[in-house]
Structure 1
Amino acid sequence: MVSTRAVPNLTFRRLRGRRSPGEFAAAVRRAAREIGEQVACDARYIGRVEAGEIRCPNYAYERVFLHMFPGLTLADLGFSARESVRGRASRATADAAPAQVALPNPTPMYSDTGDISEESDVRRRAFMTGGTASVAAASFGIGAAPTAAVPGPRRVGEAEVSALEEAVRRIRLLDDRHGADGLYRRAAQPLRTAYALLDAGTATRGATAGRLHASAGELAISVGWLAHDSGRFDDARSHYAEALATARVANDPGVEAHAFCNTSFLARDAGRHREAVRAAQAGRRAARDLGSPRLLSLLALREAGGWAGLGDRTDCEQSLGQAHTLFERGPSDSDPEWMSFFGEPELEALEAQCRAALGDWSAATRHAYRATVLQDPHFTRNLALYRAELAVDLARSGSLDEAAAAGHRVLDLMDEVQSSRIQGMLAGMVRVLLPRRRTAEVGAFLDRHASTAATAHRA
């Protein structure tokens, strides 16, 4: 029997140089935008390439890589010939045990991150259909069947686990671009399928079992975040608890830290500030041996947010100082894949929220402005969020004309972003501005906001 063990792509690893996988993934996304491509590249994808799991990139990635390294061929980048890889894919598909259910191709703007080719990698995809903000169920090797149709017990293999991991990436990608409101209900189906696989896959052992539990936990957190961001706090709390339980069963401190991180954020938003502090501290204990200063920095910021909500300026300042010290240690190969959003813009935005909670509106405005300037416009949802934070802080500080101007910039993005969080922030700002509606700039914003809200309600 011919061995199919992956051969590491050392050539590609050398091309990455001193950059972390996350930093290199960001460079790939920037290069894609330069040539009109959009790829869902993250640190895990780079890791799979370097590990030899992706022997030949799909056509979108091929165009991006050749743009990044002009004059080189795919072979020069350490990849195999597409024809040889496609032949292996055809044989693998023919040997696959479960019959595949035909599903629609993904929309072109969401390029496939599979490891063989667009034509043959159906089982690894979480399909995107119906426009910019809808998610169809991932196939997971059993098609788009409801969870009741999952056979049991059965061995869950590489194809199912990879499809689940891809579903997590796709949901995060769409949330980054469009916000949570249009995604939450549809994303619940892949989550039900994931836990059905956990129940059915009693024969799964070893690394595959670990990846299955980790991916199910991460998917629960992603769906919980969609509920959280769209104002469904009770649903979010349930999903985060489910993720935490999965992490504990699998003894996975990475998923545990992530679940506590999001639980802390939710508790802060729900006004349970002491719970926010304790959840962040629990997350820091879970993450202490993971080798990721950036993760510890984010958890310190979550703790700072809880202290700010309690009005404890001393402990808030101490946590903020720890967050900055940890952040300045830089990225690491151990940084979790889900933390791709956490860069300097998010650091500034979270500090702005702390300053606002303490009533330091001038400082909050300064940090929120830096977040808007530093944010990559590719992440539309975060840019809209940071602009909304700036608008609110300006309004609270008494700079009403500037707040209205910032509010217009938020509305400029609301055709692309569906987020109850952002809508709620704008509604709070409107209440502050209403007494000054006779001012031309303020009145124009209030009229536009009312018109936008009415249109959204009719839709």
Structure 2
Amino acid sequence: MDATRNEALEAWMSEHGHSSNSLAKAANLALERLTGRPGRYDGRTVRDWRSGRVRWPNEAARRALADVTGLPAVDLGFVPRVQSSPTAASSQEDSMHRRTLVAGSISALMAAAAPATGAVRSVGMSDVERLQSKFASVIASDHRHGGQLSIEQRAVTLADEALNLQNSGNATQRVRSNLYATAASFRSSAMWAAIDGRRYHEATGHMREAQTLAELSGDQAIKFRIWSHAGTLYRHMGRPADALAANDVARHLYITRRDPLFASLGIARQMAIQGVAQDRRGLRRTFDQAQEAMGRAEPGVYRPVWLLAFYDEAELHSLALSAHLAVGDWPTAEYHAHRCLAALRPYMLRSRAITTSRLAHAQLAQGHADTATTTAMSVPVDAATQHPRVSRMLQEFGAALRATAPSSDSTRNWTEHTATWRASA
């Protein structure tokens, strides 16, 4: 007997815009969320399902498809291999009836939560993609300005918009997972803006919200971003033990074994934490490990926009600069500062201001007051006066300059320079 095509699965794929390859990819990601290991389905696997050559996939495939579609296998047109007795058939019918009742209860709750605007709309991947395009603009604003309350507030508003879509209509599990991941992305950007602006209490609140949303999404990349940011938050708060524990959560996620670029970032941020912990001996080895992992990262592989927008050789040297400043290794800190500045992409204005300020500190600590002052004076006025981290670093630079060379030309030049900031404010 020839295999009968699975028309129910084909209809679902057509309705939701899936090709055989895209459904295979979605099933692989779903299986990774469920088990921690990626699936190995491909377009041929899905074509076997569609053609009826495989009428009842194995349990792992059925679970993955249920996660993607929100439907049990029988509703997708698959047929169990054996119904050994009327009792078994009756049991299956009872199970299907229970699923129908549960699904109906969930639908009723969603309908009650949705706005009363008549017909219930369908929420799809186009809604997710529209929000994700706004996420790219938040990332761009952070790299230009950084630390601003307006960036934090906009990210929170967009996170709420993603969550509101959850209650605005019907959606597949795939869409809902993506909405949670998008909301988590925005919350993690709000968290980063608060960290960058030294608003640590607010950052902690965003962190907790983001962690919950990331768990609901099952997205490994956004989990990594949030736990890695948590490590940075605790590092800036002077809590290296907590910072290392949070960063270790990020470093042990499966995605770091799948993609060396994630592994490299986790190692690089561990290096910065080692600096705060005064672990001077391990810094060079950690830098080499991060650089080696970065070298193994394959180009052209899909990676989230937030990672591609900032993590590169320049950021690796920036984290090394932070670590060596923390342990008082001024010459090595200066070396990494110059390497970072040489590799920075043009739009990384915030990072350039931070690195330049750190370079000035490293030069002053080596007794080069004139050079350090010239470096510090090259920081743009808007970053020097509006970015909280940069402002604080330059205030500390001025205090150190006055303490080491109170009557020098450098100190007078610096005092006059900062007076123009106050006049223009």
- Is TM-score (shorter-chain normalized) higher than 0.5? yes
Q: Name the structure 2 match of 1:346.
A: 315
Task: Trace 1:263-302 onto structure 2 (pairs within 5 A).
Answer: 263-288=230-255, 291-302=258-269
Q: Name the structure 1 match of 2:329.
A: 360
Alpha-carbon distance, 1:270 to partner: 0.7
Task: Trace 1:208-247 onto structure 2 (pairs within 5 A).
Answer: 208-247=175-214
Q: Name the structure 1 match of 2:219.
A: 252
1:120-152 per-residue CA deviation (whole Å, 9 max, x = no partner) reads: xxxxxxxxxxxxxxxxxxxxxxxxxxxxx9727
From the CA coordinates, give the structure whose radius of gyration is larger.
2
Alpha-carbon distance, 1:248 to partner: 1.4
Q: Does residue 441 in structure 1 map to residue 405 in structure 2?
A: no
Secondary structure at the aligned position of 2:383 is classed as coil
Q: Is the 8 A contact 1:254 1:287 kept in 2?
A: no
Q: Distance in 2 between matches of 1:343 and 1:453?
A: 35
From the two aligned structures, give the one with the greater helix fraction. Answer: 2
1:20-66 per-residue CA deviation (whole Å, 9 max, x = no partner) reads: xxxxxxxxxxxxxxxxxxxxxxxxxxxxxxxxxxxxxxxxxxxxxxx
Task: Trace 1:370-381 onto structure 2 (pairs within 5 A).
Answer: 370-381=339-350
Q: How many residues align?
A: 314
State which of 196, 199, 202 in structure 1 corresponds to 2:164: 196
Q: Distance in 2 between matches of 1:453 and 1:186?
A: 28
Relative to structure 1, is the Cα distance of residues 245 and 318 closer, same or farther in structure 2, using a 3 angstrom cutoff? Answer: farther
Q: Does residue 167 in structure 1 map to residue 134 in structure 2?
A: yes
Alpha-carbon distance, 1:292 to partner: 2.0
TM-score, L = length of structure 2: 0.67
Q: Distance in 2 between matches of 1:355 and 1:329?
A: 25
Letter in 2 for 1:424: R
Q: Is the 8 A contact 1:352 1:368 kept in 2?
A: yes
Consecutive aligned runs of 4 or more in structure 1 exceeding 6 Å deviation:
1-4
Unaligned stretches of 5+ residues in structure 1: 9-148
Task: Trace 1:113-128 onto structure 2 (pairs within 5 A).
Answer: none
- Sequence identity percentage: 25
Relative to structure 1, is the Cα distance of residues 331 and 389 closer, same or farther in structure 2, using a 3 angstrom cutoff? Answer: farther
Secondary structure at the aligned position of 2:189 is classed as helix
Relative to structure 1, is the Cα distance of residues 288 and 376 closer, same or farther in structure 2, using a 3 angstrom cutoff? Answer: closer
Q: Name the structure 2 match of 1:151.
A: 115
Unaligned stretches of 5+ residues in structure 2: 1-10, 21-112
Q: Is the 8 A contact 1:277 1:304 kept in 2?
A: no
Q: Distance in 1 between matches of 2:417 and 2:141?
A: 27
Q: Name the structure 2 match of 1:305.
A: 272
Q: Distance in 1 between matches of 2:287 and 2:254?
A: 18
State which of 309, 313, 323 in structure 1 corresponds to 2:290: 323
Q: Distance in 1 between matches of 2:274 and 2:16?
A: 52
Q: Is the 8 A contact 2:220 2:255 kept in 1?
A: no
Relative to structure 1, is the Cα distance of residues 302 and 453 closer, same or farther in structure 2, using a 3 angstrom cutoff? Answer: farther
Letter in 1 for 2:291: H
Q: Is the 8 A contact 1:388 1:426 kept in 2?
A: yes
Q: Name the structure 2 match of 1:410.
A: 379
TM-score, L = length of structure 1: 0.63
Alpha-carbon distance, 1:7 to partner: 9.3
Q: Distance in 2 between matches of 1:289 and 1:442?
A: 47
Alpha-carbon distance, 1:353 to partner: 0.6
Secondary structure at the aligned position of 1:312 is classed as coil
Letter in 1 for 2:280: R
Task: Trace 1:68-147 onto structure 2 (pairs within 5 A).
Answer: none
1:380-433 per-residue CA deviation (whole Å, 9 max, x = no partner) reads: 111112111211222223221111111111135638x84211111111111111
Secondary structure at the aligned position of 1:384 is classed as helix
